[in-house]
Amino acid sequence: MSNVLVVGGTSGIGLEFARMRAGRGDEVVLTGRDTHRADTLAKEFGARGLGLDLARPMEIAAALADVGRVDHLVLAGVSRDDNKVTEYDIDAALQLVTLKLVGYTEVVHTLVSRLHDDSAIVLFGGQAKERPYPGGTTVATVNAGVGGLVNTLAVELAPIRVNAIHPGVVGDSPYWRDKPEKVLAALRTETPTGRLASMADVVDAVDFLLRNGSVNAVELSVDGGWLLG
């Protein structure tokens, strides 16, 4: 039995990961911005929910005060930022940059004394860093930043293992599943496997990164070979 914390676990891939681990008998805490919503969702499968805003890093330590030992930490939280450099929205950019780069780091900083030598951490980036799209300026930037963050955390926290996961388009995730079929079909055509990654594929990859004792400072793409399409 492991103690698992999923930050950004009230929706999408984080929620699926939390549900899978709770089903396996782990002690799971998941977070969203609203404590009541997070805890109500978590209780459906025997987990506990907390409220925590990654974009307000000064408040993170207090929000995590009653979290105990952490064996596996997953940082999955995201807010969407449609931002072009030609029409740059500084507030929106600051929100996402703070959330992923400072917020993720502050969660780890807060929990350092509750991690141990066999703990493992997975941070979520995404393939927008390699395959940018109009409006994805901040998303591409922070996802690339996650790669740098993984490297420095793996060095500073050694022997704790720290890895990143970079999903491509996750076709059945809440963000993508209701997009027009034309959009999804075009993305499938660009993907060598002929299918989009699923939440189950990503959950399985996160689980691998957390469990395998020699995989460290790796940036794992889960995208069906999309960059070659």
Ligand X SMILES: NC(=O)c1ccc[n+]([C@@H]2O[C@H](COP(=O)([O-])OP(=O)(O)OC[C@H]3O[C@@H](n4cnc5c(N)ncnc54)[C@H](OP(=O)(O)O)[C@@H]3O)[C@@H](O)[C@H]2O)c1
d(CA 105, CA 24): 28
* The token pair that represents 37 in the structure block: 């919503």
On whether the CB atoms of residues 128 and 176 are closer than 8 A, the answer is no
Comparing CB distances to ligand X, the nearer of 19 and 158 is 19
Binding mask 89-128 for ligand X (x = CB under 6 A): ----------x------------------------x-x--
Helix, strand and coil percent figures for the chain, each rounded to 5:
45, 15, 35
CA distance 223 to 211: 21
User: Nearest approach, Cβ of 116 to ligand X (angstroms)?
Assistant: 25
8 binds ligand X (CB under 6 A): yes
Among 14, 49, 57, 224, binds ligand X (CB under 6 A): 14
Q: Cα-Cα-Cα-Cα dihedral of 85, 188, 163, 133, to 10°?
A: 0
CB of 92 to ligand X, least distance (A): 12
Question: Residue 166 to residues 26, 65, 113, 206: CA-CA distances in angstroms?
Answer: 25, 29, 27, 10
Residue choice 3, 4, 12, 210 for contact with ligand X (CB under 6 A):
12
- Residue of 18, 19, 27, 32 interacting with ligand X (CB under 6 A): 32
Chain positions 168 to 207 lying near ligand X, rule: CB under 6 A, are: 169-170, 173-176
Q: Footprint of ligand X on residues 45-84 (CB under 6 A)?
A: 52-55, 76-79
Residue 173 and residue 13 in contact, taking contact as beta carbons nearer than 8 Å:
yes
* 136 lines the binding site for ligand X (CB under 6 A): no
10 counts as binding ligand X under rule CB under 6 A: yes
Which residues contact ligand X by CB under 6 A? 8-14, 32-34, 37, 52-55, 76-79, 99, 124, 126, 167, 169-170, 173-176
